[in-house]
Structure 1
Amino acid sequence: MSSEPIISLRHVTKRVGRTTIIDDLTFDVPPGEIFGFLGPNGAGKTTTIRMIVGLMSLTKGQILIKGKDIKTEFEQAIRHVGAIVENPEMYKYLSGYQNLVHYARMVPGVTKERIDEVVSRVRLDNRIHDKVKKYSLGMRQRLGVAQALLHRPSLLILDEPTNGLDPAGIRELRDYLRHLTRTEKITVVVSSHLLSEMELMCDRVAILQRGKLVDVKPIHQFTQASDRTHTYLIEAQPPEQALEALRQMDRVQGVKLAQEGLVEVTTERDCIPELLAGLMQNDVRIFGVQQVRLSLEDRFLEITGGGQIG
């Protein structure tokens, strides 16, 4: 696989009048990963996506798609992209299949076999010949994904792709996007307000706030503790006795009762054997120890100061 980034943003800035909407974004998206955009309402996620696909001009900076500049080499750059920005737009008086055929006529090399393949991939086989006006929002989302994939893009960009999908549909879409990245090496860029889904779906996540890039890193690094101190749940009996014993121990930075039979303690990892030994010396029985891992939602709220996702 080529090591060249699928997307490169260099000092991308967007101003409207005196207002800076996007402020000096710089990052790369390598091939074959699912890359997520997160941010509070108005952070600039959709604006960034619209600039990537050429629906909005840049005030300053450069966007490269497979090495092609979106401003000066638009046709060469955009041919690598399939996208749904905001809501998929379809001809509602046509069937799903007729919509795909209509789109295929505008893209060289899309065969009937390819149309059938993407229809099967998004599981619309049984409804593809129904008129789109009879489709649920979730079905229109899947039809939009099928259309975006028709020309075998290297990059698939999806803005809120899980809108209207039930839990089973969300899981199917997540599994399918994983399949695309692993077997066909397609890179997926996705924005969503469903933090739990982004945590399951994405390899890396970028967090935007007020148009600025706050951080970008792999999901597992976002959900790891940011320093040497961790929080642990200790299943101990009796828990009240464990609580009092831990309060007397050095290097315990915090301790409280959690659920029934569980004590929550904050300390450094290498202190745990010493703490457990101290508990047993105080006639406390230990049944288990588990590190509390932050969710992506926890980290998002910590980083953005509680800004609402949107």
Structure 2
Amino acid sequence: MAKPILQILNLTKRIGNKTIIDKLNIDVPRGEIFGFLGPNGAGKTTTIRMMVGLMRITDGDILIDGDSITRNFNKAILKVGAIVENPEMYKYLSGYKNLIHFARMVPGVTEERIHEVIRLVGLENRIQDKVRTYSLGMRQRLGVAQALLHKPSLLILDEPTNGLDPAGIRELRDYLYTLTREEGISVLVSSHLLSEMELMCDRVAIIQNGKLVEVQSIKDLMNEGLLSSVTFEVDNLDGAVQSLTDFPEAQAMRSEEGLVCWLEREQIALVAERLMRAGIKLYGIKKNSPTLEDKFLKMTGGESIG
């Protein structure tokens, strides 16, 4: 099994007598978009700031591709590209000159690489325009291009969808997918938009009060639990409920959409058969999949995302 690109090992951050991060352990696999979730004050931004050297680690360590942030910072950080909060740009310069300026600060970035990242984020047609004429989504894409110039193994994005419209969010999601699948880069993304994280991420870590609650793939998280809420669209709602009186485990109830039951997969067909035998016309069956927000609120006891 390949070594994780990011290893957070017993990471602890204390400020005075208060423990902000408490022995956090997380592995981020290679070539994945990995989500970082938690309620307000859970410690997400604090953890990210320690990853990129903006905040001192109290105890524990962070390894980037095997190199320690605490013992060999310069080597470890060369493998990281990051946007923490909003990407900072010189608005009076063109997008291209911003990239040239940044490239001069990083050894080994060639002209060819600059054009490569411009193509990768889809800014070829606007790269010579001044940044002040860019939309927020275009500035975000330029920030991603800047973060990718030195070919990092890990891209860290803190709230990358802030201020983006739905089209911009979808564009960013597509670019991140391309990066992980075609470039082999791993992406760690923190966001409060749970609906977007559900679409964007391969795996998520949920932290609360500085401690790890759960790490799961999105697929496993969404499929967790044997029972699903299922809505049956019927012509006679009262008759439908009555036909299931001897099937109490279905928890049949009325709703505006129709008959709602809690069922295992195999039971869906059994309920449909019972309804038809009772002379109930069945117009549709819809499995109501729980959202990432539903799962998140359940795991964190109802605390809202930050």
Q: Where on the TM-score scale, by shorter chain, does this alignment land: which range? A: over 0.9
Shift of 1:77: 0.8
Shift of 1:100: 0.7
Q: What corresponds to 1:265 in structure 2?
A: 261
Q: What corresponds to 1:275 in structure 2?
A: 271
Distance 1:259 1:85, change over 3 A: same
Shift of 1:53: 1.4
Q: What corresponds to 2:143 in structure 1?
A: 144
Q: Deviation per CA, 1:102-146, whole angstroms, max 9, x where unpaired?
A: 111122221222212212222223332233334333322111111
Q: What corresponds to 2:26 in structure 1?
A: 27
User: What is the distance in 2 between the residues matched to 1:165 and 1:121?
Assistant: 19
Q: Deviation per CA, 1:47-74, whole angstroms, max 9, x where unpaired?
A: 1111111211111111111111110011
Q: What corresponds to 2:115 in structure 1?
A: 116
Q: Which one is further off, 103-112 or 24-33?
A: 103-112
Q: What corresponds to 2:241 in structure 1?
A: 243
Shift of 1:244: 2.0
RMSD: 1.7
Contact 1:37 1:206 in 2 (8 A): yes
Alignment of 1:169-180 (within 5 A): 169-180=168-179
Q: Which one is further off, 196-205 or 135-144?
A: 135-144
SS of 2:119 mapped into structure 1: helix
Alignment of 1:190-209 (within 5 A): 190-209=189-208
User: What is the distance in 1 between the residues matched to 2:277 and 2:114?
Assistant: 69
Moved over 4 A (4+): none
SS of 1:223 mapped into structure 2: helix
Contact 1:237 1:286 in 2 (8 A): yes
Q: Which amino acid in structure 1 is aligned with residue 243 of structure 2?
A: A
Q: Which one is further off, 116-125 or 159-168?
A: 116-125
Identity of aligned residues (%): 59
User: What is the distance in 2 between the residues matched to 1:189 and 1:233?
Assistant: 36
Alignment of 1:147-162 (within 5 A): 147-162=146-161
User: What is the distance in 2 between the residues matched to 1:164 and 1:229?
Assistant: 37
How many residue pairs match? The answer is: 306
Shift of 1:152: 1.0
Distance 1:259 1:106, change over 3 A: same
Q: Which amino acid in structure 2 is aligned with residue 87 of structure 1?
A: N
Contact 1:63 1:70 in 2 (8 A): yes
Contact 1:12 1:26 in 2 (8 A): yes
Q: Deviation per CA, 1:232-264, whole angstroms, max 9, x where unpaired?
A: 112223222102222x1234242222334x210
Q: What corresponds to 1:8 in structure 2?
A: 7
Match of 1:254 among 251, 255, 278: 251
Alignment of 1:212-231 (within 5 A): 212-226=211-225, 228-231=226-229
Q: Which amino acid in structure 2 is aligned with residue 307 of structure 1?
A: E
Q: Which amino acid in structure 1 is aligned with residue 273 of structure 2?
A: A
Q: What corresponds to 1:37 in structure 2?
A: 36
User: What is the distance in 1 between the residues matched to 2:284 and 2:168?
Assistant: 37
User: What is the distance in 2 between the residues matched to 1:91 and 1:283?
Assistant: 70
Contact 1:251 1:271 in 2 (8 A): no
Unaligned regions of 5+ residues in structure 1, if any? none
SS of 2:125 mapped into structure 1: coil
Q: Deviation per CA, 1:287-309, whole angstroms, max 9, x where unpaired?
A: 34332211111111222222222
User: What is the distance in 2 between the residues matched to 1:114 and 1:259?
Assistant: 56
SS of 2:252 mapped into structure 1: strand
User: What is the distance in 2 between the residues matched to 1:81 and 1:48?
Assistant: 14
SS of 1:161 mapped into structure 2: coil
Contact 1:237 1:284 in 2 (8 A): yes
SS of 1:100 mapped into structure 2: helix
Q: What corresponds to 2:163 in structure 1?
A: 164
Distance 1:138 1:280, change over 3 A: closer
SS of 1:83 mapped into structure 2: strand
SS of 2:249 mapped into structure 1: coil
Q: Which amino acid in structure 1 is aligned with residue 30 of structure 2?
A: P
Q: Which amino acid in structure 2 is aligned with residue 220 of structure 1?
A: K
Match of 1:300 among 282, 296, 303: 296
User: What is the distance in 1 between the residues matched to 2:130 and 2:267?
Assistant: 64
